[in-house]
Amino acid sequence: MALAIRPFEMTAEEASQAEADSANPPPRGFSLRPDGIHYEVEKDGESEWRWLCSPIRVLALPRGADGKGWGRLVEIVDPDGNRHRWAMPAELFAGDGTELRRECMRLGLRLSTSRNARAVFSDLLQTWTPEVRATTAERLGWADETCSAFVLGSGRVIGDDNVVFQSEHAPGAAAEMRCSGTLEQWRDSVGAACTGNPLMIVAVSLAFAGALLEPLQTEGGGLHLRGASSRGKSTILRAAVSVWGSPRFLQSWRATSNGLEGTAAACNGSLIALDEMGEISAREAGATAYMLANGQGKARATRAGTARPAARWRTAILSSGEIRLADKLAEAGQRVRAGQEVRLLDIQADGRLYGAFDILHDHADAAAFSEAVTRMAAAAYGTAGPAFVERLVVDMEEATRQSRAFASGFKDHAMQRFDLVSEGQTSRALARLGLIAAAGELATAWGISGWPAGSARDAALDVFGLWLAGRGGAGPTEAREALQRLRAFISAHGISRFEDLDEEDARPVLNRAGWRSGTTYYISADAWRDIHSGADTVDAARHVRDAGYLAPGDGNNLAQRAPRSVPNRPRVYVVSGEILGAGDD
């Protein structure tokens, strides 16, 4: 019986690769073969070929939109046959090539150990000049303000096919921004667990909202979930993190500010989630929170000593802890600024029906539900965020238009529902929650979240109510705090440190803060500064005046002359005792 020998047939992938190789051959003196690159040498007047390295190709010459920052887009085949791409900066050729070779070998390249292999390898990459060009992105998330390309932590680019991520190191700066399972599995597990739980819905919506910040030119910021330990806060963070990556994508406030700067840059356009605010030092807490929301790191020098542009990012922030940011700053004698408070909205997260949850979805208790969500987030993750960006890139104009309109309508509805008047900090809080709700509703409309329509909107309104209740009203933070400080001081020292002008033989007062007559307090300038230490004392006086408890002096003076019975009649702040029985607003 004759032996039937079938002719060799290339697969479609192999045929496509062969066609690409013929259109982009290695430079003269090099040959690409199945086992890798070979190079030609002259020996005793004759030519021979020697093996240089395992398969590698230079696919394109990437450069920045300004025509600078050139590089090489290389593809390396590792020993398992997997292909890895790296857009390396051409400046790596300027040294001895150690960093270049290190990264290539980390991706699976095998290089000859012969004496001149290193130099020949550098020659190969420098002289291989394909005709194909690409545009470089040097940061993760949105590549630039045009929002035409989004770079994931793996180096994958969503959007413009001609954009590549270029870095001194191969993709992996956000190594935990990877995926497991399918979008359907995430939606049916983590997404479904959010249903009926407003805090979870808002946290996951916040994760989606990170991708809207750059297109809408909105500053970064987010939520701080505050509450007692073991009440479900960390579980909510894990659910939100699963939108973009693995559970290890969850970070800790304990990291240094420099470390968090790098993390924030890697989370550009997505979410940075920070657990346990209590673990950061009080001295660093305020500056770190402001840096993360402000979206800019410190300026640093390059290896050559020139100034390197500061890292920039726009990211959603989700934090948790048992204390407020204000409490943490107080440990270092600092006060929270209003700008910090509205960039990271403080939300009480342990007062729901079951700690941080409202519905347990047939689980025995909150602990069992929390454990189930943790397992879900560890099994299916990293698919929802990229799916959101894929739709956003396609529908950018309409999605941004709808988001702006939705956020505006959300604000108007909330103002009516809570019977509020427009005020700066409240408006900024509503703008942030409106954007979060818009992101959640987009994720629902695009079939990503699996929630009923309106769920994100209703959850955001619920959370706004928590924020409003936690701050004691809708007025500006500075005004409420000025009244609180003054009320607390008079309550504590209204008799002991104020000389009574109505008594002829009043006893001497030690450490006198001022004088009193009936229910009116005349507070000295020194005492006023002590009461409002760390705050703007003039603004504090204005807030007390506007609340109706301070009688100003003549003209523009907030202070007035003391009564005639006070020697030398210094200027004092005249405060009505009615402040003791009033609320903060």
Does the domain formed by 183-468 have CATH 3.40.50?
A: yes
Residue type, 322: E
CA–CA dist 212, 240 (Å, integer)? 16
560 pLDDT band (50/70/90 cuts)? very high
The pTM (predicted TM-score) of the whole model is 0.77
> What pLDDT, in 10s, does the model give residues 180-214?
999 999 999 999 999 999 999 999 999 999 999 99
Answer for the pair 73, 164: CB distance below 8 angstroms, yes or no: yes
**Pairing mode, strands 133-137 and 56-63:** parallel
For residue range 241-291, list pLDDT tens digits in order: 999 999 999 998 887 667 788 888 889 999 999 998 888 888 888 788 888
Number of neighbouring beta carbons within 10 Å of residue 102: 13
Candidates 545, 542, 515; CA nearest to 527 is 515
- For the chain, the C-alpha Rg in angstroms (whole number) is 32
Contacts of 66 (CB under 8 A, 6+ apart): none
Q: DSSP secondary structure string, 61-130?
A: EEE-TTS-S-EEEEEEE-TTS-EEEEEEEGGGGGS-SHHHHHHHHHTT--B--STTHHHHHHHHHHH---
Q: Is pLDDT at 173 greater than 60 in this prediction?
A: no
Going by C-alpha positions, the residue among 472, 465, 382 that lies closest to residue 202 is 465
pLDDT by residue (tens digit) across 511-544? 999 999 999 999 999 999 999 887 788 888 988 9
SS3 of 500, please?
Answer: strand
Q: Domain ranges in the chain? A: 24-165, 183-468, 477-581
State the Cα–Cα distance between residues 403 and 486, nearest whole angstrom: 42
Q: Given this model, what pLDDT does residue 9 score? A: 53
Which stretch, 19-28, 294-303, 546-555, has highest mean pLDDT? 546-555
Which DSSP symbol is given to 50?
E
Tell me how far apart the alpha carbons of residues 179 and 183 are, in angstroms, rounded to a whole number.
Answer: 9
| Band of pLDDT at residue 1, cut at 50, 70 and 90 | very low
* Residues 273, 276, 278, 284, CA torsion sign: negative
Tokens of 93: 């050729």
The dihedral built from the CA positions of residue 16, 17, 22 and 24, taken in this order, carries a sign that is positive
